[in-house]
Chains A and B, each alone.
Chain A
């Protein structure tokens, strides 16, 4: 196991609602990235947090936002949920940002279903 934990494991929400997903990074890691994985697809990069600051973002709208706390755990918030937001949400922690060529270790994911 990687030491990266996510909660909850499963979640069902109604279209238009808001959701918060949580991630605890591996001990010693100060960087957390979030990914969305639709069924049968590869993970897509949402954003990355390094030492409590967002330092990179993929092609996702502003209703996807996040936080990183002083203990380096992180939250992903999604507002105004749409049906297409249904996916597995993965967080990955690493010792340093990806640009420094460091390994990223994934949590088990949160399966979000929007109905």
Chain B
């Protein structure tokens, strides 16, 4: 099946700085990579996703990049704000099982 590794597990940045979270995947056939944000006690919310026919996608302060050759994808958040504090999960399709395999999550802390 798919294996998704996510780094770092905790990331602390100053408000206004940028944050980058990285994920690698094992299945070269994977072609869909969503990112979810989960605040404490709440549901995971889809914030951005990318399909394998593009290398980068942006939505305001959030961007995702994909390198299919290296099998890794990254989440970039610019001009971080206190409300960006949360746990972020990357995911990729679970091979042969039609679900999503998630990374272990990154706890992003925005320091005032």
Contacts and interface: CB of A to CB of B under 8 A. Distances in A.
A29 B42 CA distance: 22
B43 A106 contact: yes
A33 B100 contact: yes
Interface in B43-67: 43-46, 49, 51
A42 B46 contact: no
Q: How large is the interface on A (under 10, 10 to 19, 20 to 34, 35 or more residues)?
A: 20 to 34
A90 to B, nearest CB: 7
A106 B6 CA distance: 21
Nearest to B50: A101
Interface residues of B, number: 27
Contact of B99 (A41, A47, A105): A47
A48 interface: yes
Interface in A38-93: 40-48, 50, 55-59, 90
B33 to A, nearest CB: 9
Given A41-B105, A44-B102, A45-B97, A101 B43 contact: no
A114 interface: no
B31 interface: yes
Nearest to A47: B99
B102 A106 contact: no
A101 B51 contact: yes
Given A58-B99, A104-B46, A106-B43, A45 B94 contact: yes
B104 interface: yes
Contacts of A58: 94, 97, 99
B104 A42 contact: yes
A98 B44 contact: no
A45 B89 CA distance: 14
Given A42-B103, A98-B32, A48 B98 contact: yes
A42 B34 CA distance: 13
Interface of B: 1, 6, 31-32, 34, 36, 42-46, 49, 51, 89, 91, 93-94, 96-105
Given A43-B100, A56-B97, A108-B43, 10 more contacts: A2-B43, A42-B102, A44-B102, A45-B94, A45-B97, A45-B99, A58-B94, A90-B43, A99-B98, A106-B43
